[in-house]
Chain A
Amino acid sequence: MSSASSAVELAGIARRFGSRWVLKGADLVVGSGEAVAILGRNGSGKTTLLRIVATLLRPSRGSGVVFGHDLAREPDAVRSRIGLLGHTNAIYPDLTAAENLGFTLRMLGRSVDPRAVEATLITVGLGAHANTRARGFSAGMQRRLALARLRALEPQLLLLDEPYSSLDPEGVELVTALIADTRRAGGAAILITHDVSRATSIADRVVMLDDGRIAPWTPGVLVAE
């Protein structure tokens, strides 16, 4: 099923929670270097789909491949290629910004170079707060730290669930730059957002998750609602 130029290929992904089918057969192909935005109503299964691609959930039916690696059979290979930014920031409030980033690097088995850590924090505008505990950060600063963490992971596939929440215009630009950098390096991005105008401006393609299936997005849908 996988082709060399595809970053993600999902075929008939279905998932149920109890008796309720949230996804009923979602098909999606994302090419290398492509950014795809997924729109959908609340509860339409967007986050569930993203978590399945991230290997955090198993599909009840269907299969998927990320850069040629099967979600079910090679989850480790998939995990080494993805970077997930979910609703939460995965930041430890009692660690400083630099320590949070250092923890990520140590978990990846990389050496923690304080200058490299500082440089990454400067990239997201937190250079002056490297030694401040994240507990004192605003929601936007915590989101920026989460973006720094994502940069440290150097993922080939970005999975972004409402990445713009809490961010000021400068922070929004950081997300856009991250997506652009990943695409330039041959990676791809799947972006979930309710912001239709941002989705259309950043993504190459906008699709919609409706009734558990992926469908082409028709301009005007959701905007009117």
Chain B
Amino acid sequence: MTARLALSRVMAVAWKDLTTERRSKAGFNGVVFMAAITLLMFGFALGPDPAPIRTAAAGLLWLTVLLSGVLAFNRSYELEIEAGALDALLLYPGGRWPIFAGKLLANLAFVLLVEAITVPIAGVLYDLPLLTPLPGLVGVLFLGTVGFVTLGTYYAAMASRVRAREVLLPLLLFPMLVPLLVAAVGATKAVLAGDPMGYGSAWIRLLAAFDIVFLAATFMTFDYVIGE
């Protein structure tokens, strides 16, 4: 498969997923609503005192992203199953990694868009100072989201042919996400606090390393996961 054909396929799959999502709207609206409600419920659970909420804010934010992102990943393959189109996708000759790359791009755009709405909501609800650390926060969110979406898209493919895929996906995905979650929460905490101890860059390097490992491992093995 030539690079041109591979790129054409990646863009075609990403375009198709995003267009379908944009037109149906149900998925995106539901995920954003779910994220906002989750943030609100966490706020109620921690009580009116702002100090514990601020301390826990980074963790709450990432948990919210994780919970809402899982809905998006499931939906990504549901579209193929509902249309009976997964077989048709697999029958295009050439490697199957462009299908994964296209779905990864679409899911990345989806989750980043969800974050663009939910992070300001978290800022308001938890009284977080978002403007000053914004560039660092955007960088950390992006790096964490790349790793999260890579694993999510991969495991969603693995679970796609199973009847109980909605249950199976979090069971497969969440344990694998623990190291990434720890690094993402650590980096976000450091960035939100202005990084007084200078730990932020170590967490960010760790996040970048996770991203590279996850991307390499998933691209190398996707053919086996999506096959028979």
Chains A and B come from one and the same complex: yes
Give A contacts to B, CB under 8 Å.
54-58, 76-77, 79-80, 82, 84, 86-95, 99, 103, 106-109, 133, 149
A141 → chain B, closest Cβ, in Å? 15
Please, how many angstroms separate the alpha-carbon atoms of A127 and B88 in the complex? 23
The DSSP consensus for interface residues of chain A is: loop
Across the interface, B228 reaches (CB within 8 A) one of A58, A84, A88, A108, namely A58
Please, how many angstroms separate the alpha-carbon atoms of A149 and B92 in the complex? 13
A-B pairs, top 5 by smallest CB distance, nearest first, are A88-B84, A90-B88, A109-B5, A106-B12, A80-B93
B23–A94 CB distance below 8 A: yes
What are the residues of chain A within 8 A of B75 when measuring CB–CB? Answer: none
Please, how many angstroms separate the alpha-carbon atoms of A203 and B89 in the complex? 28
A93–B228 CB distance below 8 A: no
B94 within 8 A of A: yes
What are the residues of chain B within 8 A of A55 when measuring CB–CB? Answer: 91
| 12 A–B contacts from the bound complex (CB under 8 Å) | A54-B87, A56-B91, A56-B228, A88-B87, A89-B83, A90-B84, A91-B85, A92-B16, A103-B12, A107-B92, A133-B23, A149-B88
Closest residue of chain A to B84, judged by CB? A88
Across the interface, A88 reaches (CB within 8 A) one of B13, B20, B83, namely B83
A95–B16 CB distance below 8 A: yes
B83–A91 CB distance below 8 A: yes
Q: A94-B24, A106-B12 are in contact. Are A77 and B93 (CB under 8 A)?
A: yes
B87–A99 CB distance below 8 A: no
Across the interface, A90 reaches (CB within 8 A) one of B2, B12, B85, B228, namely B85
